[in-house]
Amino acid sequence: MKKTLLIILGATALLGNAQQVTVTSSTSPLKGVETAFYPTLNSSGDKLLYSDVDANGLKMLDFSTNQVSTISNDGGAGFDAKWSADGKVYYVTSKVDEKSRLVYRTGMRYDLAQKANDVVLEAQHGAVHLETGTRGMAMNGERRNYATSPNRGVSVYTTGSQLVVNINGKENRYTPVESYAGYLWSSISPNGDKIAFFAAGKGIVVTDLRGKVLAELGNYEMPCWYNNDYIVAQNATDDGYQFTSSQILLLKADGTFKHELTPKTSMTMQPTSGGGKIAYTTIDGNLTVITIDIK
Domain count, the chain: 1
| pLDDT top residue among 16 and 171 | 171
The average pLDDT across 173-184 equals: 96
DSSP-based three-state secondary structure for 11? helix
Give yes or no for a contact between 244 and 262, defined as CB atoms under 8 angstroms apart.
no
The average pLDDT across 122-150 equals: 93
**CATH number of residue 83's parent domain:** 2.130.10.10
Range of the domain at 17: 2-294
The average pLDDT across 257-284 equals: 98
| Tally: H helices and E strands in the chain | 1, 26
Query: For residue 207, what are the β-bridge partners?
Result: 195, 213
End-to-end alpha-carbon separation of the chain, Å?
A: 34
Is residue 285 classed exposed, middle or buried when 0-12, 13-18 and 19+ CB atoms within 10 A define those classes? middle
CA distance 126 to 272: 27
- pLDDT per position as a tens digit, 221-256: 999 999 999 999 999 999 999 999 999 999 999 999
